[in-house]
Copies of this chain bind each other. A is one copy, B any other.
Amino acid sequence: MTRKDRERMAREELILEHARRLLLSQGFQGFSLDDLAKAIEYSKGTIYLHFQSKEDLALAVATAALKERADLFERAVRFRGKSRERARAIGFACCHFMVAYPEFFSVEMMMKSQSFWEKASEARRQANSMQAGRTFRAMMEVVHAGFESGDLPRDRMAAEHIAIAMASVTVGSHIMSQVPEMRLLAGIDDSILIVRQNQDLLLDGMQWSPLLAEYDYQATDFRIRDEIFPEATWFPGH
């Protein structure tokens, strides 16, 4: 790798850093490439030497964040314990990510919209896809561990559908617990608590042993924090 290549990569990092900051503080619509150009002290044209469109840039930012989440998931899966405890560790990882990047969710939501993807480059779409695959595989690993240990009934649902269900309840709970309207109607003060409660309900619904009522999961939470996420500054239920 030549000096040129290294300089180019360093500048791409610089752009991504500032883009991330502006994107999270102003939202996709709110942040302008003129502002970004001013912040990085390069011209707007230079940005386009790295990214083919505003969407392409936003996707790169999102993918970098998704990679961090995938890292957290893979760490979570390494937790030593019962399969449901490992599933719980993934839930912990999700919440940890929520706390660390509270503004990131709106960017991820915006990416669900139709017109977004077709304006991004194929290379960046693939990069995103790869990170999404890592998170999915992490969940699948735990599901299979559940099957093999006999803690999770095999006959009720396909492994993929169980993984989808885990992701769904997490995403949905996060969204609903952030909507001001809902916070008011339901008297929510702690989003994390809602997310984790709903994850518990779902896993109980799958008959994933040991059920919430049969086991001391608070002890598990302490172990997850201490052994896997010592950097966490928060704790479930507090």
Contacts and interface: CB of A to CB of B under 8 A. Distances in A.
A29 B110 CA distance: 11
Given A112-B178, A172-B175, A205-B203, A165 B129 contact: no
A205 B161 CA distance: 16
A106 B170 CA distance: 19
A113 interface: yes
Given A175-B112, A185-B160, A205-B202, A165 B197 contact: yes
A27 B114 CA distance: 8
Interface stretch (A77-85, A186-194, A225-233): A186-194
Nearest to A114: B27
Contacts of A160: 185-188
Given A185-B132, A194-B161, A179 B30 contact: no
Given A163-B186, A205-B204, A129 B181 contact: yes
A170 B182 CA distance: 15
B198 A165 contact: yes
A164 B188 contact: yes
Interface residues of A, number: 50
Contacts of A168: 169, 172-173, 175-177, 194, 198
Contacts of A157: 197
B173 A165 contact: yes
B170 A115 contact: no
A106 B110 contact: no
B164 A194 contact: yes
Interface of A: 26-27, 29-30, 106, 109-110, 112-115, 129, 132-133, 136, 157-158, 160-161, 163-165, 167-173, 175-179, 181-182, 185-188, 194, 197-198, 200-206
